[in-house]
Amino acid sequence: EEKTMICIGCGVKIQTEDETKVGYAPPSALEKETIICQRCFRLKHYNEVQDVALTDDDFLKILNGIGNAEGLVVKIVDIFDFNGSWLPGLHRFVGKNKVLLVGNKVDLLPKSVKHEKLIHWMKQSSKELGLRPVDIFLVSASKGHGMREVMEAIEQYREGKDVYVVGCTNVGKSTFINRIIKEVTGEGNVITTSYFPGTTLDMIEIPLEDGAAIYDTPGIINHHQMAHYVDKKDLKIITPKKEIKPKVYQLNEKQTLFFGGLARLDYVKGGRRPFVCYMSNELHIHRTKLENADELYKKHLGDLLQPPRSSYSEKLPPLVAHHFTLKEPKTDIVFSGLGWVTCHDQGAQIVAYAPKGVAVMLRRSLI
Ligand code: GDP
């Protein structure tokens, strides 16, 4: 007897297969008389938002909805995964609505990184990607840094209208929203879910004093994120948890660095110089001779060179080479989803490798 079960909280179709997708409820919940999805359950009992991943199609519907509504769009990106957490196409949908860009996880940056330089780079990159945010803020949703400033800015830019918070999975959107909930709603259990017009999707609605609301939209899965090529345990390894400790490698030409098995940097030509790696403190970096690198990767992907652990290494798309000659006195080679490597002095010839679909790019150093 196959019958469709609906969540009494938000009306979404219940499924028990995938915890990360909309409508999930644990199998035990099905025995109850009234069924409620895990997301609504947490909202109801803990006043807490959980992240739920959306398919592309659903996300397009939401973008459409936002384009037709009037309000401020708050877009959250992960500063360690700027390109991987970018939502391509958002600018085509938002219409006249303003977009406020928020870079999260600023607590991970070493003190030497200049916030203004990072903001400047985010501004330039946004422009190149077709988006002109009204303002850019750096925050740590988990530590609370910068949250008051960003909330004041939201209040200012929304001009009495609604606010839509968007972002792809893993950027820290739930953490961000949960902080706002704490600030905006004192005690009362006033948060509700409501439908997106024209869809069966629900969004979380945090009422504001003037009758407008902040809406949390479910996160989208961005298939180009490094995070989707590794399993949960490996994701823990590549995601920095604490302030990053830069690791310095003095390289001679024709030397290679492997970042687990997920990325690779060949120093092809130029004198001895430092390469400073800004990545998760737990990520294993392996140095070898360039001439041995291909062979080493073939033999040792999944063991010496991990993450990805061996059971996952087949799912990893092949590494793609990006060739660069560095022109600035200090250049960051950015591996989306991992971090970056700062190369000192101009003129170095390098080849940077990342899995197909994952962005590698250069920027002027943030130091
Ligand atoms: P969502 O998928 O966008 O809703 O993201 P979550 O809020 O679930 O957070 C994703 C991961 O990033 C979790 O492991 C969080 O602990 C972590 N995270 C969220 N905000 C921050 C932050 O400000 N700093 C750091 N270091 N980690 C964060």
Pocket lining: 280 vs ligand 1, CB cutoff 6 Å: no
* Phi, psi angle pair for 56, to nearest 5°: -60, -40
Q: What is the mean pLDDT of the chain?
A: 89
Consecutive H or E run containing 179: helix 173-184
DSSP 79: T
Instruction: Quickly state the pLDDT bin for 196 (edges 50, 70, 90).
Output: low
> Which of the residue ranges 135-144, 178-187, 229-238 would you say has the lowest mean pLDDT?
178-187
**Mean pLDDT in residue range 4-8:** 79
d(CA 319, CA 329): 28
Q: In the numeric block, which tokens belong to residue 290? A: 């360039």
DSSP three-state, residue 98: coil
From ligand 1's centre to the CA of 349, what distance in Å? 35
Q: Which of 164-173, 180-189, 285-294 has the highest mean pLDDT?
A: 285-294
**Residue 78 in this model has a pLDDT that exceeds 70:** yes
Residue with token string 């990072």 = 118
**Predicted ipTM of the assembly:** 0.99
Domains and CATH numbers, the chain: 53-222 (3.40.50.300), 228-364 (no CATH)
Pocket lining: 175 vs ligand 1, CB cutoff 6 Å: yes
> Which of the residue ranges 98-102, 121-125, 197-201 would you say has the lowest mean pLDDT?
197-201
What is the per-residue pLDDT for 55? 67
What is the atom index within ligand 1 of the atom nearest the CA of 242? 26
Residue with token string 């999975």 = 169
Pocket lining: 228 vs ligand 1, CB cutoff 6 Å: no
E-assigned strand segments in the chain: 53-54, 71-78, 99-104, 135-139, 162-167, 192-195, 202-207, 213-216, 219-220, 247-251, 255-259, 263-269, 273-279, 285-289, 319-325, 330-335, 339-344, 349-355, 360-364
What is the per-residue pLDDT for 113? 95
From ligand 1's centre to the CA of 178, what distance in Å? 11
Pocket lining: 308 vs ligand 1, CB cutoff 6 Å: no
Best residue among 175, 217, 226, 235 to mutate for probing ligand 1's pocket (most ligand atoms within 8 Å of CB) is 175
Q: In the numeric block, which tokens belong to residue 270? A: 């130029």
Best residue among 87, 170, 221 to mutate for probing ligand 1's pocket (most ligand atoms within 8 Å of CB) is 170
Pocket lining: 169 vs ligand 1, CB cutoff 6 Å: yes
Q: Which of 218, 219, 238, 216 is nearest to 227 (CA)?
A: 238
Handedness of CA 333, 339, 344, 350 (dihedral sign): negative
Instruction: Quickly state the pLDDT bin for 240 (edges 50, 70, 90).
Output: very high
Residue 161 CB contacts under 8 Å (≥ 6 apart), including other chains: 70, 71, 72, 212
d(CA 169, CA 176): 12
Q: In the numeric block, which tokens belong to residue 87? A: 């939502």
**Mean pLDDT in residue range 25-38:** 83
Best residue among 79, 142, 234 to mutate for probing ligand 1's pocket (most ligand atoms within 8 Å of CB) is 142
Pocket lining: 226 vs ligand 1, CB cutoff 6 Å: no
Cα torsion through 233, 225, 363, 347, rounded to 10: 70
Pocket lining: 170 vs ligand 1, CB cutoff 6 Å: yes
**Residue 2 in this model has a pLDDT that exceeds 60:** no
What is the per-residue pLDDT for 47? 66
What is the per-residue pLDDT for 23? 84
What is the per-residue pLDDT for 213? 92
Helix axes 147-158, 173-184, angle to 10 degrees: 80
CB distance 217 to 203 below 8 Å: yes
Per-residue pLDDT reduced to its tens digit, 293-337: 999 999 999 999 999 999 888 889 999 999 999 999 999 999 999
**Residue 1 in this model has a pLDDT that exceeds 50:** no
d(CA 323, CA 258): 16
What is the per-residue pLDDT for 51? 63
**Residue 206 in this model has a pLDDT that exceeds 80:** yes
Percent of the chain's residues with pLDDT above 70 = 93
79 or 64, higher pLDDT: 79
Q: Which of 325, 332, 329 is nearest to 275 (CA)?
A: 332
331 or 36, higher pLDDT: 331
111 or 59, higher pLDDT: 111
Per-residue pLDDT reduced to its tens digit, 180-191: 988 887 655 567
**Residue 354 in this model has a pLDDT that exceeds 70:** yes
